[in-house]
């Protein structure tokens, strides 16, 4: 059987690429080694983590906000098994949705591990060890990423876990140590803190959420501490030892020779990043080049150095985000169909689904300073927003950064309830090269949290009204 396109990996990058290519008239097959489609995102990433984040947030609300809203209930209890069942049901609903879309778009599915034999040929190895070869005009590699291990610390996915194990713990631990104050550490750390665990986050850097705007990072750290999470910044975990049923975690300063301290924990979550996954793809044999960080090298048309072989998503450079992978999947399919696919890397939002949420698009203040770009900054707190007060979600702020000369919006950073939804009006504005005056003069419905976005924009060229 010969195809126009074979996509290896059916995560958000791969499945979107396959569907788009089929919509554009190509004969398409996918190769996936997992039994279900959707990749890291749908099976062990975005979707299951959001199911647990939502459930634990509801628990937290019922425990702490209901009374203030005039709702009397008996004290809610966590049914952890039922919460996990909710998560599993959500995964199932999403992965079967991809099966449906593949059928609808007449995409052939080859279940097995794909290996590139050369341009035009992909070997598929199934569980019993037998192999077959699929012929194709083009190959898109979308094999994603895997957990970054912490040297010397073995992950057993029971007591020392990666995000995968942390999504299916047998019970809510009494004490959880999280290594890494990045997106995974703070999202999953928040889940367990809300459910009653004592959570300590050990972070190498002197700030949390490293690449985010420093203002956001500072204020968000204060909020998380208020929620009961503990932090050991500028520190690293150097050993984890079993002590009976518990674990002893050795923590050392990130730099210098100061003495090590220890933490007791029931579970340790290692969340220090992810690395591109290219194992077993046969890339060295075919001569596909990798960069210094093991990512597949591509040009800006997602083409590798070997004709007919392309790569997208977590396995190439750029932020490891599902929507970045999806957009690249659609773009490469369009290019293969002779159209002008394009991804604007200046406008890729990042959202941390904690409570409150953190959302960001474009440049941070630190990046603008480093680039020597003169900018104006406007900020507006949710404590001055009527809707936020009505919902008891007054924590956080919106910050708009605009070019000092042209007024073009260069970055928007939000900490607050619903930030992950609100950020998109900034994305659309920035795609059209809009100015902060455009944003500040756009009529926003009242009362909405989004009015804080309008007021922050207004603060860059005039005075906000409600502050
Ligand atoms: P993947 O989703 O990793 O898919 C790759 C697929 O390729 C897998 O199914 C794998 O089995 C398959 N594969 C690999 N090698 C082979 C082979 N040789 N043959 C056949 N199949 C193969 N991002 C967000 O944007 N928002 C979030 O909220 C978010 N939450 C996350 C939470 C967690 C806990 C984690 C771990 C990640 C999260 N991410 C989130 C990141 C997101 O999951 C990834 O950026 C996204 O899944 C990358 O998509 P991809 O298609 O490149 O690769
Ligand atoms: P990350 O890169 O976000 O954070 C890792 C953190 O670990 C960094 O702050 C780093 O300084 C720290 N660190 C590294 N080595 C350390 C050490 N030895 N000791 C202590 N700290 C150390 O990586 P994370 O959280 O693992 O997430 C992986 C990827 O998954 C990210 O790229 C992210 O984009 C994606 N993701 C996205 C989500 C979202 O969009 N909401 C949710 C979860 C994951």
Percent of the chain at pLDDT above 90?
A: 99
Ramachandran region of residue 433, left (φ > 0), alpha (ψ -120 to 50) or beta? Answer: left
- Tokens (6 digits) for 172: 């809510």
DSSP state of 300: T
The response to whether residue 237 sits with its C-beta less than 6 Å from ligand 2 reads: yes
| Ligand that lies nearest to the alpha carbon of residue 324, given by its number in the listed order | 1
Residue 45 CA to ligand 2 centre (angstroms): 13
Q: Which DSSP helix (H) or strand (E) runs through 157?
A: none
Return phi, psi of residue 89, to 5°: -65, -40
Question: Which residues lie with the beta carbon below 6 Å from any ligand 1 atom?
Answer: 8-14, 31-34, 39-41, 45-46, 49, 113-114, 142-145, 163, 184, 277, 280-281, 313-314, 320-323, 325, 353
Q: Which residue has the tokens 């690293």?
A: 236
DSSP letter string, 231-283: EE-SEEEEEEEEETTEEEEEEEESSS-PPPEEEEESEEEE-S-EEE--TTS-H
| Per-residue tokens: 352 | 């941390």
CB 378 within 8 A of CB 351: no
In ligand 2, which atom is closest to the CA atom of 180? 7
Give this prediction's pTM: 0.98
| Cβ neighbours, 10 Å, residue 86 | 16
Please say whether the beta carbons of 271 and 162 come within 8 A. Answer: yes
Catalytic position from the list 64, 301, 342, 446 = 446
What's the number of CA atoms in the CB half-sphere (13 Å) around residue 219? 18
* Omega before 197 within 30 of 0, i.e. cis: no
Question: Is 1's pLDDT higher than 70?
Answer: no
**Helix-strand-coil percent breakdown of the chain, rounded to 5?**
35, 25, 40
Quick one: which H or E segment has residue 135?
strand 131-141
What tens digit of pLDDT does each residue of 27-59 get?
999 999 999 999 999 999 999 999 999 999 999
Give kind and range of the element (H or E) at residue 370: helix 365-370
- Say if CB 392 and CB 65 are below 8 A apart: yes
Query: What's the chain's average pLDDT?
Result: 97
Question: Is the shortest distance between the CB of 357 and ligand 2 below 6 Å?
Answer: no
Q: What is the pLDDT of residues 202-211, one digit of tens each?
A: 999 999 999 9
Q: Are 85 and 102 in contact (CB under 8 A)?
A: no
Locate 149 and state its tokens: 């291990």
pLDDT in tens, 375-400: 999 999 999 999 999 999 999 999 99
Give the model's confidence band at 90: pLDDT under 50 very low, under 70 low, under 90 confident, else very high: very high
273 lines ligand 2 (CB under 6 A): yes
């Amino acid at each position: 059987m010969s195809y126009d396109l074979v996509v290896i990996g059916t995560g958000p990058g791969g499945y979107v690429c396959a569907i788009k290519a089929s919509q554009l008239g190509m004969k398409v097959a996918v190769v996936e080694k997992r039994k279900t489609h959707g990749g890291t995102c749908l099976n062990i990433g975005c979707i299951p983590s959001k199911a647990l984040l939502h459930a634990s947030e509801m628990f937290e609300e019922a425990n702490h906000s209901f009374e203030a809203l005039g709702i009397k209930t008996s004290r809610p209890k966590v049914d952890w098994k039922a919460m996990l069942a909710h998560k599993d049901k959500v995964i199932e609903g999403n992965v079967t949705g991809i099966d449906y879309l593949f059928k609808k778009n007449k995409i052939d599915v080859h279940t097995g591990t794909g290996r590139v034999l050369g341009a035009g040929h992909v070997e598929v190895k199934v569980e019993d060890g037998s192999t077959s070869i699929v012929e194709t005009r083009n190959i898109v590699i979308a094999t994603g990423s895997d957990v970054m291990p912490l040297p010397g610390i073995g992950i057993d996915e029971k007591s020392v876990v990666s995000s995968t194990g942390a999504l299916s713990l047998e019970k809510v631990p009494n004490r959880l140590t999280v290594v890494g104050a990045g997106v995974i550490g703070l999202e999953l750390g928040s889940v367990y803190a809300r459910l009653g665990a004592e959570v300590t986050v050990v972070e190498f850097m002197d700030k949390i959420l490293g690449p985010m705007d420093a203002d956001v990072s500072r204020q968000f750290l204060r909020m998380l501490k208020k929620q009961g999470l503990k932090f050991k910044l500028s520190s690293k975990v150097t050993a984890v030892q079993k002590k009976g049923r518990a674990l002893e975690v050795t923590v050392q300063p990130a730099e210098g020779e100061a003495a090590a301290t220890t933490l007791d924990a029931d579970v340790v979550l290692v969340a220090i990043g992810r690395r591109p996954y290219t194992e077993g793809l046969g890339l060295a044999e075919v001569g596909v080049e990798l960069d210094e960080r093991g990512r597949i090298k591509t040009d800006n048309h997602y083409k590798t150095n070997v004709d007919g072989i392309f790569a997208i998503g977590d396995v190439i450079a750029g932020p490891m985000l599902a929507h970045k992978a999806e957009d690249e999947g659609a773009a490469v399919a369009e290019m293969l169909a002779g159209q002008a696919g394009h991804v604007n890397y200046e406008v890729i939002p990042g959202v941390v689904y904690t409570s409150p949420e953190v959302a960001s698009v474009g440049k941070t203040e630190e990046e603008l300073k480093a680039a020597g770009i003169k900018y104006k900054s406007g900020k507006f707190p949710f404590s001055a927003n009527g809707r936020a007060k009505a919902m008891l979600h007054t924590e956080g702020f919106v910050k708009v950064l605009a070019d000092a000369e042209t007024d073009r919006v260069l970055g928007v950073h939000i900490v607050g309830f619903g930030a992950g939804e609100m950020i998109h009006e900034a994305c659309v504005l920035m795609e059209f090269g809009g100015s902060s005056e455009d944003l500040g003069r756009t009529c926003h419905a009242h009362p909405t949290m989004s009015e804080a976005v309008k007021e922050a924009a207004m603060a860059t060229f005039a005075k906000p009204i409600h502050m």
